[in-house]
Structure 1
Amino acid sequence: MFVRIVKMSFHEDRIPDFLENFETVKDKIRKANGNRFLELYQDKNDKCIFFTYSYWETEADLENYRQSELFNSVWSFTKQLFNAKPEAWSVDKLVSLE
């Protein structure tokens, strides 16, 4: 399992559009084959910056999601709202303390 982190920055007036759309698709993303976890964060100092954290069983699962109709519709809508180029990282979790 690995973690996918995506940083997105939006035009301030488009944040409600993003949040409304995320609300409608979050369960579908979470139910994508191989997805084990999904969270959305907003930066405390810059309200235009958001992060998604998702856990995936395999890189193939993430790639299958990225090739899906769901991803294409979500991404084509979301990218219109950006005020900066998004960034993404795939990382392995080494330590988790609870």
Structure 2
Amino acid sequence: MFIRIVKMSFHQENISKFLENFDLMKEKIRNAEGNRYLELYQDKNNPCIFFTYSFWETEQDLENYRQSALFDEVWTFTKKLFNNKPEAWSVDKIATLK
């Protein structure tokens, strides 16, 4: 399992559109094959910046999602709202402290 972090920055006037669409799509994304966890964060200092944080069983599961009609629908809508190029990282968890 690995973690995918995506940073997205939106025009202020597009934040509500993004959040409305995310609310409609979040269960579908979470239920994509291999997705085990999904969270959305908003930056405390810059409300235009958001991060998704998701756990995937395998890199192929993420790639299958990225090639799916669902991803195409989500990304086609979302990328029109950006004010900057998105950034993404795939990372392995090293430690968890509770």
The TM tier, using the shorter chain, reads over 0.9
Residue type of the partner of 1:39? E
Q: Report the Cα offset of residue 43 of structure 1.
A: 0.1
TM-score of the two chains, using structure 1 as the length reference: 0.99
Task: Report the secondary structure of 2:80's partner residue.
Answer: helix
Percent pairwise identity: 72
Matched, 1:57 2:57: yes
Please name the residue that 2:68 is paired with: 68
Unaligned 5+ residue runs, structure 1?
A: none
Ranges of 4+ aligned residues in structure 1 off by more than 6 Å: none
Unaligned 5+ residue runs, structure 2?
A: none
TM-score of the two chains, using structure 2 as the length reference: 0.99
Please name the residue that 1:24 is paired with: 24
Residue type of the partner of 2:69? E
Task: Report the secondary structure of 1:38's partner residue.
Answer: strand
Matched, 1:44 2:44: yes
Matched, 1:86 2:86: yes
Separation in 2 of the partners of 1:89 and 1:9? 15
The count of aligned residue pairs is: 98
Q: Report the Cα offset of residue 60 of structure 1.
A: 0.1
Task: Report the secondary structure of 1:81's partner residue.
Answer: coil
